[in-house]
């Protein structure tokens, strides 16, 4: 895999794509199914407002699909995974910019359904995960992973990909999707992609655009705090309590930050660890004003 690069910068150097590379944009489920002579298809599920993180997922999807394969991106702001009163209504939906992003990234198929296309008015079946979904994000956002699993299962059925690409930024989501694929026998390979960051370490996110200037400046403290925990591990500290205290003190230097959770868990079980080991990960969620950001880092 080549080094991660700024997709927008790297694409700027390329000659314009020919019409041959136009993205097929479809809204309806019937048009999204692969044809009978289908090529290998790799799916990147997103909620749009595409940024460099999504660009990296698309690049990895293209690599996995190969020259003859097809890269499909879905853009769907899934109402089922937002809490009542959450940011569902105000979530950014820059359709033209997303179309152009997909075109420049060489996406073959863009599936952008409406909520009505995805959910019948009397929709009554959902997918629940019971072991991994109740901690961390699931504890703070009850019902969130039911929404995620349900929509991803539907996208897998609708688009029938051979593989699907997800970001490690949402590492709990990635773990739960891997579990769903295993437990429900989806014949789909799941590919994880490391988190893409801004120059100051802040993880790229569609929600970063909600931040005002001060919040944006202070948000970089999250990654610095996680890095500090990793530095302590490298120096031999194995105590989750000490690492969490140190990381929390660093976050507290940013007056606009309000921690939702800060935990050290096993990457497989997502349960808190008694001692930091090779499978430990530190995860944080914090508010800056109204905006809730998440990040995580493997500790060794
Ligand atoms: P979203 O549109 O926020 O639902 O994200 C769609 C996919 O992009 C998910 O698999 C995310 O984990 C992934 N993603 C979002 N931000 C990043 C990032 N900064 N680096 C890598 N993957 C990301």
Residue minimizing CA distance to atom 5 of ligand 1: 46
Residue 30 · residue 151 · CB < 8 Å: no
Tell me: the pLDDT tens digits for 207-229? 999 999 999 999 999 999 999 99
Residue minimizing CA distance to atom 14 of ligand 1: 167
Residue 272: CB atoms within 10 A of its CB come to 13
Cα-to-centroid distance, 167 and ligand 1 (Å): 5
Using a 6 Å cutoff on CB, does residue 78 contact ligand 1?
no
Cα-to-centroid distance, 169 and ligand 1 (Å): 6
Tell me: the pLDDT tens digits for 281-293? 999 999 999 999 9
Q: Mean pLDDT over all residues of the chain?
A: 93
Which ligand 1 atom minimizes the distance to the CA of 207?
3
Query: H or E segment at 156?
Result: helix 144-159
Residue 130 known to be catalytic: no
Distance CA 125, CA 256 (A): 40
Cα-to-centroid distance, 36 and ligand 1 (Å): 30
Which residue among the candidates 20, 28, 51, 54 is catalytic per the annotation?
54
- The order of strands in the sheet holding 163-167 is 24-26, 109-111, 70-75, 41-46, 163-167, 189-193
| Prediction pTM value | 0.93
Using a 6 Å cutoff on CB, does residue 47 contact ligand 1?
yes
pLDDT score of 122: 98
Using a 6 Å cutoff on CB, does residue 151 contact ligand 1?
no
Residue 42: CB atoms within 10 A of its CB come to 28
**Residue ranges, the chain, pLDDT below 50:** 1-20
pLDDT score of 130: 96
Tell me: the pLDDT tens digits for 97-121? 999 999 999 999 999 999 999 999 9
pLDDT score of 36: 65
How is residue 77 written in tokens? 């702001």
Which ligand 1 atom minimizes the distance to the CA of 44?
7
Which ligand 1 atom minimizes the distance to the CA of 57?
22
CA atoms within 13 A on the CB side of 22: 5
Pocket residue to mutate for ligand 1, from 169, 180, 202, 291, most atoms within 8 A of Cβ: 169
Residue 123 · residue 150 · CB < 8 Å: no
Using a 6 Å cutoff on CB, does residue 57 contact ligand 1?
yes
Pocket residue to mutate for ligand 1, from 5, 46, 209, most atoms within 8 A of Cβ: 46
pLDDT score of 34: 84
């Amino acid at each position: 895999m080549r080094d991660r690069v700024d997709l927008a910068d790297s694409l700027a150097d390329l000659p314009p794509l020919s019409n041959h590379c136009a993205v097929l944009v479809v809204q309806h489920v019937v048009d999204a199914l692969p044809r009978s002579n289908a090529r290998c298809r790799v799916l990147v599920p997103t909620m749009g407002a595409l940024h460099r993180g999504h660009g990296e997922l698309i690049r990895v999807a293209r690599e996995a699909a190969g020259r003859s394969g097809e890269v499909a991106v879905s853009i769907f702001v899934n109402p089922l995974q937002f809490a009542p009163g959450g940011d569902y209504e105000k979530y950014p939906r820059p359709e033209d910019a997303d179309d152009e992003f997909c075109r420049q990234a060489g996406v073959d198929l863009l599936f952008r359904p409406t909520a009505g296309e995805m959910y019948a008015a009397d929709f009554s079946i959902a997918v629940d995960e019971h072991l991994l979904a109740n901690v961390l994000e699931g504890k703070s956002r009850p019902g969130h992973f039911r929404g995620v699993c349900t929509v991803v299962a539907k996208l897998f059925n609708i688009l029938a990909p051979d593989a699907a690409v997800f970001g490690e930024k949402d590492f709990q989501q990635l773990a739960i999707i891997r579990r769903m694929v295993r437990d429900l026998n989806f014949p789909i390979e799941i590919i994880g992609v490391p988190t893409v960051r801004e120059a100051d370490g802040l993880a790229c996110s569609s929600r970063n655009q909600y931040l005002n200037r001060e919040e944006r400046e202070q948000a970089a403290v999250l990654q610095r705090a996680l890095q500090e925990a990793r530095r302590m591990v490298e120096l031999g500290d194995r105590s989750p309590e000490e690492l969490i205290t140190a990381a929390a003190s660093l976050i507290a230097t940013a007056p606009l930050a309000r921690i939702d959770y800060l935990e050290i868990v096993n990457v497989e079980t997502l349960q808190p660890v008694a001692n930091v080991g090779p499978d430990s990960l530190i995860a944080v969620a914090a508010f800056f004003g109204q905006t809730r950001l998440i990040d995580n880092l493997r500790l060794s």
